[in-house]
Structure 1
């Protein structure tokens, strides 16, 4: 590639950084805070970007700013360029977790957060005390967009879509399901029989609030339906709802066992075949060679292998 240095000299690297952060946050105030500058300085950078690219780039909307089509077209190239600079010029390939001061933003549903986060925090307290974790709730439908906007460093979820060429993915484990209920208030035999399973009202944890899940697909094959009495987007609320109630829930195996111990709930195999769900982690390729990010990925692989 021939480089036109006189043309490239018009571009201030700090402007590209400001563009990338603003595209990620879609809010001038939050972008300024993330860069550690004042809002007026951020607005000044935005004005310079608009002159540089001859486009409004970000227009006002009720909750911040919205990228124009031109900004959306520029974003992948700018992110890629910044990623190359960071990986090849700023990292020496050595990462000392015990001395690192870094914040990672992880996205996961609470069905994964419940078994994983306590183990991760215990390891960090022992091996990497200055590393901080921020958790954002996600589902498999929005994780790719959040990675593209740099709102996440790493996503962990089940049934993830493949993503694009800019995404990297690694399977962590496959999970089955268990029935979960309060045996002191729901008097049914274990293992739970299919007749009882469809007769008892169900609690469904659904990130999007949909009253439908893998159980309903499996029941439909048999010409059956269940009675879904409660739908909550907060999976961690399920054991609280089950306690002291005549309800049953179908829960991924790892958090089901944790809930059973903590809330004195009973578990039972699900009385019909359900497909296992692959849980994977996914990240943007701009972080693929980052030593700190690689270290975190390997830590999560080891932790999930022992869940």
Structure 2
């Protein structure tokens, strides 16, 4: 028992805050460092936190002395962070966000009075499914909240999140790191969509009919291959592709105008079918359901406005029309 008490005392002494040592540090320097690491430019970092360029240059000099490291060095593309700076970036973001939450904790969050712009990366399919309902809700319940919606850039989405240029990313799958948070938004299945008047088919369609007509494929990877092609290959079959497009919104208009088929997420397909007079059928080849999720930086996990937006999106997704 004494051994356990001694161990706890030792740990407490290690974790204790050295107030005298900490008081020698200007914590505003950490804010400047976060801006410098995000912008990789003295000028842009200064504008980001509302100070002059000379003041930011002075802050960078003091930071170099504090950490005994260059932190950022000149490079052809701008300023390049040193390995020490890169190691500091994520812990620094998390600490600053926690401080911000701490000083705001006593402020009651009210979506009706908050003024904030959220930058969200998402595919146009999710924008169609949730965007209209989200906008209607915000205009009525949170008129000070605005949205900056951007297309999904899967190659750079994590870097955009880390650089604080994205509040939230919505996509089919993510491979985040320890400082990223993820949450399921909704699940969906696949169905086949077509113009019955042009193809002469009625649901449920057979595999032979499914393969008799050319297909329209939506691919964000800009490759003429999708989950349907993988499923067909497993049973020794293949299909003919007429068009491959990265835009979900163009597909139903292509399908309406020609004797072709497309396979897409069920919620979106039913919406298009009702709007454009198209027909939905189960796919004659088994396809796994898809999971659409949200990803954000851990430093925003306890931010009241950010948490409110995530909860709102999940609620709107759960209330959206499900697969019939």
2: distance between equivalents of 1:113 and 1:104?
A: 14
- The answer to whether the aligner puts 1:127 opposite 2:147 as a matched pair is no
**What's the CA shift string for 1:262-304, capped at 9, x where partnerless?**
3333222111111011222232221222111221122112100
Counterpart residue number, 1:95: 109
**What's the CA shift string for 1:158-199, capped at 9, x where partnerless?**
2333x3333333223210012122334444343332112223
Structure 1 or 2: more helix by fraction = 2
2: distance between equivalents of 1:296 and 1:117?
A: 13
2: distance between equivalents of 1:29 and 1:195?
A: 62
Cα 1:51–1:227, aligned 2, differ >3 Å: closer, same or farther? farther
1:179–1:268 contact (8 Å) kept in structure 2? yes
Q: CA deviation at 1:229?
A: 2.8
Q: Following superposition of structure 1 onto structure 2, how do residues 215-294 of structure 1 map, counting pairs within 5 Å?
A: 215-294=228-307
Q: Aligned pairs, how many?
A: 305
Cα 1:182–1:35, aligned 2, differ >3 Å: closer, same or farther? farther
2:185–2:294 contact (8 Å) kept in structure 1? yes
- SS of structure 1 residue aligned to 2:257: coil
- SS of structure 1 residue aligned to 2:115: coil
2: distance between equivalents of 1:147 and 1:222?
A: 40
Q: TM-score if structure 2 supplies the norm length?
A: 0.82
Q: TM-score if structure 1 supplies the norm length?
A: 0.86
* CA root-mean-square deviation: 2.7
**What's the CA shift string for 1:131-162, capped at 9, x where partnerless?**
1111222266654443333222222222333x
**What's the CA shift string for 1:101-129, capped at 9, x where partnerless?**
01112222222111011111110001000
In structure 1, stretches of 5+ residues that fail to align are none
2: distance between equivalents of 1:201 and 1:293?
A: 44
1:71 to 85, 99, 105: 85
Q: Following superposition of structure 1 onto structure 2, how do residues 27-176 of structure 1 map, counting pairs within 5 Å?
A: 31-37=45-51, 42=56, 45-46=59-60, 48-53=62-67, 54-57=69-72, 59-62=74-77, 64-92=78-106, 94-138=108-152, 142-161=156-175, 163-176=176-189
1:184–1:244 contact (8 Å) kept in structure 2? no
Farther-moved stretch of structure 1 (226-235 vs 48-57): 48-57
2: distance between equivalents of 1:6 and 1:36?
A: 29
1:140–1:159 contact (8 Å) kept in structure 2? no
1:25–1:151 contact (8 Å) kept in structure 2? no
- SS of structure 1 residue aligned to 2:196: coil
- The answer to whether the aligner puts 1:18 opposite 2:32 as a matched pair is yes
- The answer to whether the aligner puts 1:306 opposite 2:300 as a matched pair is no
1:106–1:134 contact (8 Å) kept in structure 2? yes
Counterpart residue number, 2:226: 213
- SS of structure 2 residue aligned to 1:243: helix
